[in-house]
Amino acid sequence: MEQLAFGLAYALPALGAALGIGFIGAGALNAFGRNPEKLGDIRTLMITAIVFADSLAIIGIIVAIIAKFLG
């Protein structure tokens, strides 16, 4: 049961981060299609947003590891 909890404690934040990154990429491509001369600005904002979304997955694995060893 602990292994299931560990798996879910990491899988759910990773799933959320993956969905968020997908939405960020779709939004960036849509913005680029509407305004192609702003490629540099769109790319910078996209990478920044991906870093923030990916931090959720990193926090999720840290919390899962802490919960596994302390629980």
Q: Which domain holds residue 59?
A: 2-70
Q: The whole model's pTM is what? A: 0.83
Residue matched to tokens 């870093």:
51
Q: Please give the Cα distance from 4 to 6 (Å, whole number).
A: 5
Contact status, residue 13 vs residue 60, Cβ threshold 8 Å:
yes
CATH number for the domain including 37?
1.20.20.10
- Residue 44's Cβ-side half-sphere holds a number of Cα atoms within 13 Å equal to 4
Q: Does the structure show a pLDDT above 90 at 70?
A: no
d(CA 24, CA 40): 15
What is the C-alpha separation between 16 and 18, in angstroms, rounded? 5
- Tell me the pLDDT tens digit for each residue of 18-67: 999 999 999 999 999 999 999 999 999 999 999 999 998 899 889 888 88
Number of domains in the chain: 1
